Amino acid sequence: MNDNITYNHPNHDPKYVEYQPLYEKKLNQFLNFNGPYKNESLGKFMLYAKYQAVNKDDQAIINGSYYQVPYNKEDPVDPNNRPDWKPLIEKCNEENHWKNIYANQPFGPSWTTTWFKINIHIPKELLAKSNKQKWVFQFDCQNEGLVIVPKQSKNKTVYMPVTAFSGNNERIEYILNIKDYDFDFTHLFYIECGNNGMFGVGPSTIDPPSDNKWFHLQKCDLVLPDWEARGLYYDFMQCKDLAIRLPQESFFKHYIRKTCLEIMEIYDSNSRDSIVKCRDYFAKKLLPKLEDYNNVSDGDIDAEDKFNTMYAFGNCHIDLSWLWPFAETKRKVVRSWASQIQFIEQYPEFQFVISQAQSVKWLKDAHPEFFNKLLQHPNQFLIAGGSWVENDTNLPSGEGLSRQLFFGQRWFYKNFNKRICKTMWLPDSFGYSGALPQIGKLSQCSYFVTQKLSWNSINKFPYSTFFWQGIDGSEVLTHCPPADTYTSDCSVENILKVVRNGKSKDIEGGSLYLFGKGDGGGGPTEEQINKLRRMRQVNAKIGSEVPSISMNNKFFENVIKLNKGKHNIPSYIGELYLEIHRGTYTTQSVIKKFMRKSEILLTELEQLASYASLILPD
């Protein structure tokens, strides 16, 4: 034995370090439906049944056909490329223009229109096996589509939009309204598809358009989802992401992660019954079952965190003219809002904000029956902005800015049962003139919302909530949503950013959260709304680490109330300068030239209109 050998003393205080990626990887596997463990994941139970229109054996249950509208290759905005619904459908039916579809069928080229005719027939024997669960039509042609259902109204057929598709597995579902499961269910509807994506027809988001882009039929299926499995999918998705995104020092990070791992132990890939057990365990540990609206908090300000409340609004920013022609914008409006009406009827707490009187006028002129349907939901289909369009504020004259709000407010007042907009809404304009507060106040707007200042290239704007004082001393209460976007996706990461990124944490009242697909239209998705529901309930369990989420529309009123007026709220004086997109307009001399020409012509037109009003007062 070597007497020179010495031994270290035992370590009575070992430092344990978790191997974080190992846990995160394991949690992610549960929702990985395409990986090596797909047969062990939840994806195995997401559907009870699927019938495909492109499968001949299924065509007694679902049958699909198409009609390609003839198009003018030289003029993509030719109105004949986008014919009115009623005459086209009736002509195609009378003359039998419909042709059979097949898998991965190409449709195009760019800016053309393809129509689909879908016949669904579900025998009562099949319905009896579905236990009165909701059936869903899934459609993905990689382009934008609108579901149109013929309905009888006053002895005539009215073609009513009911929902929309955006392709690439994003918005692909139409929930069927089956009222009686004791009889066969039949349903005929049409899909108007514009052969363009949400961002036009470029190779990527903001590239110039391609004149020869084609789109391919990926899905035209009738499915019966396992709604319990889908509920577990949303439960696990948000809780998993909380376990990953909450800070390491958070007790609830480890509590939620432990709960998720326990759920994975309860789940049995050989037993569909285990899904119910998983959801029951989630309800016990973290989440009540949220399909019952009574379990979703009602947004009462007295029950919320005054500093950490997030007021969530669905919205759908639509650039009226960007990477697509005006003719396509008009169809984007219908597609976007049809989806939201479906969600308003499905989710009682959901609120959707629209702006731009011009876009609503397009909708009313083309589809008055659908416009009347919007008016039936005044507490959920909200108007904001007050302007004719979401306008630039740098190039127009003061008179031009005034007209934006004057004509916009007047149109909303006349067409929305004497409602006016209290909030100016310019989320994507390139900077804001110091004249705007005065013009806004004179137009009965006391509030202003934008997120664009978060795009500054150098200087961070100092406030989230503040009074914006114009050049004459007029003030409007202003808010910049701390998520720094008007297209939030309701992910855990995005919602936690609201808590961490707010620059006015000392001001009571919380913040706004604007969610939904935007720029090219779209609006909120079913997944986003369900994510938000889960986050509301998690807040009830773990408190301020996740913001409390309100679905009422009293944000600005509550800021004033809780801060006793404006004494505790900072002011910012003058122009809100945007440090990006500089020179976008001013370097384009042709735009400046036509701006000035339009101002001169409008002045002359007003003189003639004034004269006409004297001799023709009616």
Which residues, 6+ apart, have CB-to-CB distance to 332 below 8 Å?
Answer: 144, 318, 324, 520, 521
What is the rounded distance in angstroms from the CA atom of residue 221 to the CA atom of residue 165?
A: 14
What 8-state DSSP symbol labels residue 462? S
- 32 and 41 Cβ atoms separated by less than 8 Å: yes
Structure tokens given for 35: 């990986």
Which residues, 6+ apart, have CB-to-CB distance to 584 below 8 Å?
Answer: 430
Question: H helices within 136-225, ranges in order?
Answer: none
Q: Is 445 helix (H, G, I), strand (E, B) or coil?
A: coil
Q: What is the pLDDT of residues 208-258, one digit of tens each?
A: 889 899 999 999 999 999 999 999 999 999 999 999 999 989 999 999 999
| pLDDT computed for residue 305 by the predictor | 60
Higher confidence at residue 97 or residue 566?
97
Q: Are strands 144-153 and 185-194 parallel, antiparallel or unpaired?
A: antiparallel
What is the rounded distance in angstroms from the CA atom of residue 546 to the CA atom of residue 511?
A: 13
Average pLDDT (301-322) is: 81
What is the rounded distance in angstroms from the CA atom of residue 352 to the CA atom of residue 513?
A: 12
Q: What is the pLDDT of residues 366-412, one digit of tens each?
A: 999 999 999 999 999 999 999 999 999 998 889 899 999 999 999 99
Q: Is the pLDDT of residue 602 over 70?
A: yes
Higher confidence at residue 17 or residue 427?
427
Is CATH 2.60.120.260 what the domain over 47-225 is classified as, yes or no? yes
**Other C-beta atoms within 10 Å of 596: how many?**
12
Residue type present at position 48: Y
Higher confidence at residue 307 or residue 90?
90
Q: Which of 291, 266, 275, 296 is nearest to 232 (CA)?
A: 275
Is CATH 1.10.287.3510 what the domain over 302-573 is classified as, yes or no? no
Average pLDDT (413-428) is: 96
Q: What is the pLDDT of residues 485-518, one digit of tens each?
A: 999 999 999 999 998 999 999 999 999 999 999 9
Q: Is 96 helix (H, G, I), strand (E, B) or coil?
A: coil
Considering all CA atoms of the chain, what is the largest pairwise distance in Å, rounded to the nearest integer? 123
Confidence band for 293, pLDDT divided at 50, 70 and 90? very low
Q: What is the pLDDT of residues 53-79, one digit of tens each?
A: 999 999 999 999 999 999 987 887 787
User: Which of these is catalytic: 78, 428, 484, 489?
Assistant: 428
- 549 and 496 Cβ atoms separated by less than 8 Å: no
SS (H, E, C) 157-208: EEEEEEEEECCCCCCCEEECCCCCCCCCEEEEEEEEEECCECCECCCCCCCC
What is the rounded distance in angstroms from the CA atom of residue 465 to the CA atom of residue 569?
A: 8
Structure tokens given for 569: 């709220």
Active site residue 207: no
**Other C-beta atoms within 10 Å of 1: how many?**
4
Mean pLDDT of the chain: 91
- 356 and 559 Cβ atoms separated by less than 8 Å: no
Which residues, 6+ apart, have CB-to-CB distance to 510 below 8 Å?
Answer: 304, 305, 306, 307, 308, 309, 310, 311, 547, 548, 550, 555, 558
Q: Is 180 helix (H, G, I), strand (E, B) or coil?
A: coil
For the entire predicted model, the pTM comes to 0.92
In terms of average pLDDT, the best of 3-12, 18-27, 577-586 is 577-586
| pLDDT computed for residue 564 by the predictor | 83
What is the rounded distance in angstroms from the CA atom of residue 313 to the CA atom of residue 335?
A: 19
Confidence band for 196, pLDDT divided at 50, 70 and 90? very high
Q: Which of 219, 191, 198, 197 is nearest to 110 (CA)?
A: 197
Average pLDDT (40-49) is: 95
Confidence band for 451, pLDDT divided at 50, 70 and 90? very high
